[in-house]
């Protein structure tokens, strides 16, 4: 796993257990490591060790800029997830990091399969690098155990969940989610590219994605509501109902319903696996207004059921 290029990396562990091993491992592969909150402290005095926590991300961003680092890594408490900050101090969403890692892996391991969860970006589906390397992308259910099992069952080389759980099979890893291995793969990506991380991410097509939104829905009703919504979106497709002036070209029902429009924009409605709520995500390729238009269509459809309440957050 040694790298040839000298990569300066901010390594933030939020005083969690990853601080024991993450800085050392990244130094051993050849990184110039700047440690941030890597001492163990069970009171977590600064912020929650969570790569989705804004306080943690802001701290990493400031450290990257201050130290003129090439990359910033933020590990969760037990080190099985990692968040990534580019050289400009910007957070990179986990599904796009997964795509970049998949591209890099596919250049060496052609003809492989990759598993992604239904909340992930549409960019995987038509990615030219993955296509040219004869790779297959398989959508699967959101959830740590679901992705892990699917990677093993399909003998895929890797699996990427939007939450930041990344799984690597042989010859890279042993099938479990591993934040350190994820960081190593990002370092290999930088090692193989004569570009900064910001340049690599900016070369990806622009998308406009909502955060994960969770409208209240009773536990005893949420699955019935999703079944009803799935049926309705199938009817929208059959009846050629337009959403944001586009027809539905595909319906994916492996975990709720993900509908794909003519330009590959999409919306997802599924039941939360651990809360009395639904999960709603939208991604478009042209504008925030398109994203809002599709969300409004989904929300209007949900409200008509009479069983959906307030959102935890909304665009």
Q: What is the CATH number of the domain that holds 20?
A: 3.40.120.10
Residue 285: inside a domain, yes or no? yes
Look over the chain and give the mean of its residue pLDDT values, rounded to a whole number.
95
Residue 314: inside a domain, yes or no? no
Residue 113: inside a domain, yes or no? yes
83/157 same-domain check: no
User: How many CB atoms neighbour CB 243 within 10 A?
Assistant: 21
- Give pLDDT, residue 1: 78
pLDDT of 216 above 90: yes
79/111 same-domain check: no
Question: Once rounded to an integer, what is the mean pLDDT over residues 189-200?
Answer: 94
Residue 310: inside a domain, yes or no? no
Residue 252: inside a domain, yes or no? yes
Question: Once rounded to an integer, what is the mean pLDDT over residues 68-85?
Answer: 95
Residue 45: inside a domain, yes or no? yes
CB 117 within 8 A of CB 142: yes
Residue 43's pLDDT band, with cuts at 50, 70 and 90, is: very high
Its domain, for residue 98, covers: 94-202
Residue 312: inside a domain, yes or no? no
- Give pLDDT, residue 211: 85
255/296 same-domain check: yes
Domain end among 202, 234, 251? 202
pLDDT, tens only, 268-284: 999 998 899 999 999 99
- Cα dihedral value 143, 233, 259, 256, nearest 10: 0
Helix, strand or coil, per DSSP, at residue 3: coil
């Amino acid at each position: 796993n040694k790298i040839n290029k000298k990569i300066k990396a901010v390594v933030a562990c939020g005083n969690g257990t990853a601080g024991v091993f993450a800085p050392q491992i990244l130094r051993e592969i050849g990184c110039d490591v700047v440690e941030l909150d890597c001492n163990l402290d069970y009171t977590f005095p600064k912020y929650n060790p969570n790569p989705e926590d804004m306080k943690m991300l802001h701290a990493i961003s400031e450290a990257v800029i201050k130290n003129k680092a090439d990359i910033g890594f933020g590990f969760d408490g037990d080190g099985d997830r990692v968040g990534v900050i580019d050289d400009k101090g910007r957070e990179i969403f986990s599904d796009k990091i997964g795509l970049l890692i998949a591209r890099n892996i596919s250049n060496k391991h052609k003809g492989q399969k990759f598993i992604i969860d239904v909340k992930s970006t549409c960019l995987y589906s038509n990615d030219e690098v993955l296509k040219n390397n004869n790779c297959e992308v398989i959508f699967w259910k959101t959830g740590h155990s679901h992705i892990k099992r699917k990677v093993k069952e399909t003998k895929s080389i890797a699996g990427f969940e939007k939450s930041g759980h990344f799984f690597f099979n042989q010859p890279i890893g042993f099938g479990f989610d591993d934040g350190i291995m994820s960081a190593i793969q990002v370092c290999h990506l930088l090692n193989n590219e004569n570009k900064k991380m910001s340049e690599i991410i900016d070369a990806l097509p622009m998308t406009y994605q909502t955060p994960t939104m969770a409208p209240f829905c009773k536990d005893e009703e949420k699955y019935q509501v999703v079944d009803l919504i799935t049926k309705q979106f199938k009817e929208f497709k059959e009846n050629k109902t337009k959403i944001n002036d586009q027809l539905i070209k595909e319906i994916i029902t492996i975990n709720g319903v993900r509908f794909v429009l003519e330009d590959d924009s999409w919306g997802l409605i599924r039941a939360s696996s651990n809360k009395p709520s639904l999960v709603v995500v939208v991604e478009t390729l042209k504008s925030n207004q398109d994203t809002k238009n599709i969300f409004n269509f989904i929300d209007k459809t949900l409200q008509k059921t009479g069983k959906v309440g307030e959102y935890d957050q909304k665009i």
